[in-house]
Amino acid sequence: MNSQRVNEIIGSMGRAKVLILGDIMLDEYLIGSVTRISPEAPVPVVDVESINHLLGGAANVAANICALDDEPLLVGTVGDDGAAEKLRALLKEKGIAADHLVVDRTRKTTIKTRVIAHSQQVVRADHETRHELSEEIEELAFRRVAQAADRIAAVIISDYGKGVITLSLLQRIIELCLAKGIYLAVDPKETHFHNYRRVSLITPNHHEAGFAYGRRVNTMDDLIEVGNGLLRKLEARAILITRGAQGMSLFRAGCAPTHIPTFARQVYDVTGAGDTVIAAYVAAIAAGADEVEAAIFSNAAAGYTVGEVGTAAVTKAHLLKELEHNIKNGRLATAGETA
């Protein structure tokens, strides 16, 4: 892939509606410094200097879609609580509609509180409800998706295992997307892995992929067996396995794997990197990219976001800068296809 093709794809972004269904979270950051150890226990005392709130989980996927100028339609549940109000306010700030959210009074809005000192996470505390949706709430969520089906280019399922993506809801969404010809991408939870059958794309990391297949990924041979094996088992169109410092590997039926090296220059925080990967991939597909090009885009987006503290949404300008840097400094892909 050359600079002209990069500009063509980026120039086509911003015309699609993408529906995101999944576990919506509020990310809270307590940021400060450590100068002493607690006299009560052998733990650091963090002097909190600021508190930040960011969109997390499926809401962060929506923020990434929005940052790439596409229109996100966010479907999921929130509680009837103060955290939901903060989340709605953050969505409004980003220009993301909250019209498709479903209020479930039996659940609390998920909050993930991270304590950060000297750019390092000290501890995380989670406030959440993990029981599955009731039939009534599930039906409301499905209706939100079905009502939007004729005006969306893609669906992203963001499954963090908090109870929103039930087996019955997932099966109904898959059937709907297959019937309507809607591109369906899944950011998986490993315990649900074998439920994601016949999807367009699934984006596990190498640990999740190995767990799902029953083989630890230690070598390239392991990776190839796991990637191709999952592709067959799930009958998926493509599987993109993220591999941390080793980059990403794309598996497609009838094609040799494509390996894309990482170009992240310094890693500060991997929070939300999976959200960025799937959002950038789907945005590229909606803009006319093929699967290898979309994987290269998502790799560049991940390289940017891990260099930022907290969940960072990648813009088209960020993507262009990262991709130009990658083109200048090395090959973008190896094996099955090169760019």
- pLDDT for res 308: 56
What six digits make up the tokens of 244?
């941390």
Summarize the confidence of residues 104-132 as an average pLDDT.
Answer: 95
Strands of the chain, DSSP E: 17-22, 24-37, 44-57, 71-78, 101-103, 110-117, 120-127, 154-158, 183-187, 201-202, 238-242, 248-252, 258-260, 334-335
Tell which wins on pLDDT, 276 or 306: 276
Q: Write out pLDDT tens, residues 19-71.
A: 999 999 999 999 999 999 999 999 999 999 999 999 999 999 999 999 999 99
86: Cβ contacts below 8 Å, ≥ 6 apart:
26, 53
What six digits make up the tokens of 132?
């599955």
For residue 215, with 0-12 CB atoms within 10 Å meaning exposed, 13-18 middle and 19 or more buried, which class applies? middle
Summarize the confidence of residues 143-168 as an average pLDDT.
Answer: 97
Q: How confident is the model at residue 235 (pLDDT cuts 50, 70, 90)?
A: very high
Answer yes or no: is pLDDT of 97 > 90: yes
The radius of gyration of the chain's CA atoms, rounded to the nearest angstrom, is: 20
Summarize the confidence of residues 110-136 as an average pLDDT.
Answer: 95
Q: Write out pLDDT tens, residues 253-269.
A: 889 999 998 765 554 44
Question: Which amino acid, one-letter code, is at 19?
Answer: L
Answer yes or no: is pLDDT of 288 > 50: yes
The pTM of the whole model exceeds 0.85 = yes
- Taking the alpha carbons of 17, 18, 22, 25 in that order, is the dihedral positive or negative? negative
Q: How confident is the model at residue 1 (pLDDT cuts 50, 70, 90)?
A: confident
Question: Which amino acid, one-letter code, is at 97?
Answer: A
CA 292 to CA 161: how far, in whole Å?
Answer: 29
Q: How confident is the model at residue 306 (pLDDT cuts 50, 70, 90)?
A: low
Answer yes or no: is pLDDT of 201 > 50: yes
- pLDDT for res 263: 64
Residue of 241, 311, 316 whose CA lies nearest to 280: 316
Tell which wins on pLDDT, 275 or 326: 275
Mean pLDDT value across the chain = 91
Contact between 268 and 119 (Cβ < 8 Å): yes
The DSSP secondary structure of 258-298, one letter per residue, reads: EEE----S--S--TTHHHHHHHHHHHHHHTT--HHHHHHHH
- pLDDT for res 180: 98
In the annotation, is 269 catalytic? Answer: no
- pLDDT for res 150: 97
- Taking the alpha carbons of 265, 270, 274, 276 in that order, is the dihedral positive or negative? negative
Structural domains in the chain plus CATH codes? 3-335 (3.40.1190.20)
Rounded to 5°, angle at Cα 96 from 200 and 151: 45
Q: How confident is the model at residue 247 (pLDDT cuts 50, 70, 90)?
A: confident
Summarize the confidence of residues 162-169 as an average pLDDT.
Answer: 96
CA 322 to CA 324: how far, in whole Å?
Answer: 6
> What does the DSSP 8-state code read for residue 246?
G
Burial state string for 84-107 with b = 16 or more CB within 10 A and e = fewer than 16: beebeebbeeeebeeebbbebeeb
166: Cβ contacts below 8 Å, ≥ 6 apart:
132, 133, 138
Residue of 239, 264, 272, 268 whose CA lies nearest to 62: 272
Summarize the confidence of residues 96-113 as an average pLDDT.
Answer: 97
Answer yes or no: is pLDDT of 158 > 90: yes
- Taking the alpha carbons of 313, 317, 318, 324 in that order, is the dihedral positive or negative? positive
- pLDDT for res 338: 39
Q: Write out pLDDT tens, residues 293-303.
A: 999 999 989 88
Element (H, E) at 3: helix 3-12
- pLDDT for res 189: 87
Report for 151-155, 191-195, 240-244, 318-322: range of highest mean pLDDT: 151-155
- pLDDT for res 334: 54
- Of the candidates 27, 187, 269, 275, the residue annotated as catalytic is 275
